């Protein structure tokens, strides 16, 4: 881990400069298949442990995403000081309680104080935190805190709305229930007019969530 940007690594949380232990995952999946009474030797399951290990390497890549390399110096000095809003960033994550997916959209805004970041990097920041075992409430705060640490803007706002398969497939089985979470920092927290401008903008999202 680089010592050049220690605060950025702190803001990223849980960064691991290591590889995924695929062998341990394969063994665990094999044990699950046996525990539920399946025959792992049959054609459809023979390669399932390997497939699941590769899947987790992708879905949980956020633990190993280097935040400094991800940002890659894409921060630019500007005189612009109006609200920057990136709407409808699709994300997919895994609930840490049941390891079932939840998926949705993130809306991110900030008010620059001399610096802006490349547009694609906001989506990458969302993905970095989404590709971990998560709860939506914490993930929303992590994205906001990371952008705040990165840019030191006048304010940051993050709103996320998602459908959770753990409530759609099991338990209460409410197919259309979605969770909305928000974090407001700086001017978005203290200035009602700023917060309302942001909320009016994201309310224009074209379509409801359907997956």
Q: Which residues are catalytic?
A: 95-98, 136, 164, 166
| Collapsed DSSP state (helix, strand, coil) of residue 33 | helix
Tell me the CA distances in angstroms from 50 to 20, 134, 150, one per residue in order.
13, 23, 37
- Strand ranges (E), 26-177: 75-77, 84-95, 101-111, 115-117, 133-134, 155-164
Asked whether 97 and 133 are in contact (CB, 8 A), the reply is no
Asked whether 201 and 87 are in contact (CB, 8 A), the reply is yes
Strand 84-95 versus strand 75-77 pairing type: unpaired
Q: Report the C-alpha gap between 102 and 161 in whole angstroms.
A: 10
Q: Report the C-alpha gap between 156 and 144 in whole angstroms.
A: 6
Q: Report the C-alpha gap between 108 and 150 in whole angstroms.
A: 14
């Amino acid at each position: 881990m680089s010592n050049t940007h220690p605060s950025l690594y702190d803001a990223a949380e849980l960064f691991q400069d290591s590889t995924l232990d695929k062998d341990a995952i394969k063994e665990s999946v094999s044990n699950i298949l046996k525990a539920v009474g399946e025959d792992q030797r049959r054609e459809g399951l023979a390669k399932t442990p390997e497939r699941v290990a590769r899947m987790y390497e992708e879905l949980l890549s956020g633990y190993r995403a280097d935040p400094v390399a991800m940002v890659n110096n894409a921060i630019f000095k500007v005189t612009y000081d109006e609200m920057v809003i990136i709407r409808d960033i699709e994300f997919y994550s895994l609930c840490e309680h049941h390891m079932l997916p939840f998926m949705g959209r993130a809306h991110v805004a900030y008010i620059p104080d001399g610096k802006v970041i490349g547009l694609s990097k906001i989506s990458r920041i969302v993905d970095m935190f989404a590709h971990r075992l998560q709860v939506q409430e914490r993930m929303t705060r992590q994205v906001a805190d990371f952008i705040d640490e990165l840019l030191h803007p006048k304010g940051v706002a993050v709103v996320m709305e998602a459908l959770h398969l753990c409530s759609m497939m099991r338990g209460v089985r409410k197919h259309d229930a979605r969770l909305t979470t928000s974090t407001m920092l700086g001017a978005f927290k203290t200035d009602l007019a700023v917060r309302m401008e942001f909320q009016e903008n994201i309310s224009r999202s074209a379509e409801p969530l359907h997956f």
